[in-house]
Amino acid sequence: MKRVFGIICFAVFCLGALAGCVSGAQPQTGDTDENLRDTILVGFSQVGAESEWRVANSESMKAALSEENGYELIFDDARNEQENQIRAIRTFIQQDVDYIVFSPRVETGWNSILLEARDAGIPVIVIDRDIEVKDRNLYTAYIGSDFRKEGETAMRWLENLLTRQGRTQNPVNIVHIQGTIGSSAQIGRTAALEQALGRNTNWQIVAQECGDFTRAKAYEVMGAILKETKDIDVVYCENDGEALGAIDAMEEAGLSCGTNGGVIVISFDATKLGLTYCKEGKIALNVECNPLQGPYVADMIQRMERGEKVEQEKYVDETYFESQTITQEMIDSREY
């Protein structure tokens, strides 16, 4: 119903634009503005609540797609199960929502459900993690992070640090705690590490385990690794929760973390807590992964409502923080 209405709006908009071409630019008609304010029904399947990052991401979506902003948001927490996400998306299709948004647990396995959404004529926006599908036209757009770039930022930083410390020849023992296997966040960050291993022949992985992006799991796997070896130079964690869990386990085992003689911990996300650990020197480098994606989604929906063509890929802005240069102001200004 709303989509039909949207098409009519679009037609009105096009006619208005055409008239503008003929007789000079005209202000939008009152009718079109009215129509753009009609409530937009959005179904959002969130992967879960596994990390502080994820909670901030959910809050950002809820704030941007609020009633005051003209939306009705159906929020579904998939509790970290892909089947739950597929079920939620199918329900959104049955509810005839105007837009489907989802943050996929893993990259693959979305072809059939996206085909169903396309057959129903519902635009799909993928956020946060990317997907791999047979036909790129199965979804409208992706808004999220360039995880490979995040990992490459971390690797370049580590290479520079070790070069400055004269450690280009000695063996560098790395523990790798991976995120949810098959998620694009894991795939991109892992790929960057693997690529760096290829060009730094003195680096070696002494242990690789999945921490599933949670503090508890990382604490558990790091504890088990430490029973095997304590000869560790670097711990590469694929998010802040994992870094915190790994640090807990290392401190319990009597290891200290830091860039001057301690274990160098690298993390991703840059949440307030992660940055606090960074300022304390326990996380040496924290590469930002920006969860505040709600405004980007709202902006894209508004442009689609106006009948504008939107970009197929939109990467959010991200930076990084080092323990040597981070300030309290940077932490205080963090929203999450």
Name the amino acid, one letter, at 287: V
**Would you mind telling me the total number of residues written for the chain in this entry?**
336
With binding defined as CB under 6 A, does residue 153 bind ligand AHR?
no
Here the tokens at position 46 are: 């969130």
Select from 53, 102, 142, 277 the one that contacts ligand AHR (CB under 6 A).
Answer: 53
Per the listing, tokens 């946060």 go with 128
Select from 107, 128, 209, 233 the one that contacts ligand AHR (CB under 6 A).
Answer: 128
Name the amino acid, one letter, at 120: A
Distance in Å, CB of 166 to ligand AHR, minimum: 32
Select the span of 26-34, 48-56, 75-83, 118-126 touching ligand AHR (CB under 6 A).
48-56
CA 55 to chain centre: 12
With binding defined as CB under 6 A, does residue 142 bind ligand AHR?
no
Distance in Å, CB of 157 to ligand AHR, minimum: 17
First to last CA, the chain: 38
10 Å Cβ neighbour count for 307?
15
Task: Convert residues 174-213 into a mask of x (bound to ligand AHR by CB under 6 A) and - (unbound).
Answer: -----------x---------------------------x
- DSSP-derived letter for residue 29 is P
Distance in Å, CB of 49 to ligand AHR, minimum: 9
> Which residues, in sequence order, are CB contacts of 278 under 8 Å at separation 6+?
267, 270, 284, 285, 286, 321, 322, 323, 326
Select from 97, 207, 264, 289 the one that contacts ligand AHR (CB under 6 A).
Answer: 289
Select the span of 2-10, 50-58, 167-175, 320-328 touching ligand AHR (CB under 6 A).
50-58
Residue 161 has phi, psi (to 5 degrees) of: -60, -50
Task: Convert residues 59-98 into a mask of x (bound to ligand AHR by CB under 6 A) and - (unbound).
Answer: ----------------------------------------
CB 62 within 8 A of CB 75: yes
CB 224 within 8 A of CB 170: no
With binding defined as CB under 6 A, does residue 293 bind ligand AHR?
no
Select from 129, 176, 217, 282 the one that contacts ligand AHR (CB under 6 A).
Answer: 129
With binding defined as CB under 6 A, does residue 236 bind ligand AHR?
no
Distance in Å, CB of 12 to ligand AHR, minimum: 39
Strand partners, 269: 288
> Which residues, in sequence order, are CB contacts of 277 under 8 Å at separation 6+?
240, 243, 244, 247, 267, 283, 286
Positions touching ligand AHR (CB under 6 A) are 50-51, 53-54, 128-129, 185, 213, 239, 268-269, 289
